């Protein structure tokens, strides 16, 4: 895999560090220095690329750029309570469980769960997305509010299905596996909606980086693997989506737009 990286000259050392980290994951980074990375520059270079500027490391395409930006989540973290966050109640994060987030995304759910006390293993297999998460993690370590939260998060570069399978073969267990498949299948009987609100910029760029047609896991295999290692598996779904792997959950927490399906393994 080859990837273009636009960067401003003052961040050359950071780019060299990123280049080394990606090379270890089989990615050839092609750094190109530019005078200034502005909105106009991004519009004139719409191809998928990495960008390093005063905001840190970002993914860019179609005139937009995005990053996990964990520091931007501080407001939500401070406002969140056990009563307002279904995901916390579903995972029992306030009981400090060992938890694997097997569908890392931008890591925002893991950050919230860690805030409530969960010890999170954040697993991601795509080298570009993993490197973006690393950058967010490193920045968060220097933030006084986030530092004790991210201390409970471990980043793991691995295929989640392989990672869960290896844990099972080693007879290792965790309290919770959390799944939030990127491309949730919807109920075949659900009426098609009129044009939905535009997907958030972050998700638009993630969909370009991780296109569904390239075999991105819808989560069925992960659910099977998760059952073997977790006392509780929690799956985030759109409210009207079909059950993951067509398995009916043992319990549900229902919201207006989404739900959390829980599967309990009493044998572990």
Domain spans of the chain, in order of start: 2-66, 70-264
Instruction: Give yes or no for residue 196 having a pLDDT over 70.
Output: no
Give the global pTM: 0.89
Q: Is 221 annotated as a binding residue?
A: no
| Percentage, residues of the chain above pLDDT 90 | 79
- Average model confidence (pLDDT) for the chain? 89
Between 27 and 218, residue with greater pLDDT: 27
Average pLDDT for 82-98: 95
Average pLDDT for 103-123: 95
Q: Is 124 annotated as a binding residue?
A: yes
Q: For the purposes of burial, counting CB atoms within 10 Å of the CB of 84, is it exposed (0-12), middle (13-18) or buried (19 or more)? A: exposed
State which CATH number among 3.90.45.10, 3.40.50.150, 3.50.50.60, 3.30.420.40 fits the domain covering 70-264. 3.40.50.150
pLDDT-derived band at 218, boundaries 50, 70, 90: low
What pLDDT was estimated at residue 23? 97
Average pLDDT for 58-67: 93
């Amino acid at each position: 895999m080859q990837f273009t990286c636009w960067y401003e000259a003052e961040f050359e050392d950071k780019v060299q560090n990123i280049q080394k980290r990606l090379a270890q994951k089989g990615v050839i980074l092609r750094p190109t220095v530019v005078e200034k990375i502005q909105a106009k520059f991004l519009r004139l270079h719409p191809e998928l690329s990495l960008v390093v500027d005063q905001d840190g490391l970002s993914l860019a395409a179609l005139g937009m750029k995005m990053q996990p930006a964990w520091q931007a989540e501080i407001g939500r973290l401070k406002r969140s309570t056990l009563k307002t966050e279904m995901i916390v109640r579903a995972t029992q994060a306030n009981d400090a469980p060992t938890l694997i987030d097997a569908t890392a995304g931008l890591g925002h759910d893991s950050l919230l769960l860690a805030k409530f006390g969960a010890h999170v293993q954040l697993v991601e297999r795509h080298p570009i997305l993993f490197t973006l998460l690393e950058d967010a993690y490193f920045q968060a370590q220097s933030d006084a509010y986030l530092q004790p939260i991210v201390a409970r998060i471990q980043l793991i570069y691995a295929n989640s299905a392989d990672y869960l399978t290896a844990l099972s073969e080693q007879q290792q267990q965790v309290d919770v596996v959390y799944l939030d498949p990127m491309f949730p299948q919807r109920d075949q009987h659900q009426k098609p909606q009129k044009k939905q609100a535009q997907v958030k910029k972050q998700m638009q760029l993630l969909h370009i980086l991780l296109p569904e047609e390239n075999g991105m896991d819808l989560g069925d295999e992960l659910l099977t693997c998760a059952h073997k290692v977790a006392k509780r598996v929690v799956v985030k779904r759109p409210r009207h989506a079909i059950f993951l792997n067509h398995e009916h959950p043992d319990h549900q927490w229902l919201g207006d737009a989404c739900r959390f399906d829980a599967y309990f393994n009493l044998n572990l």
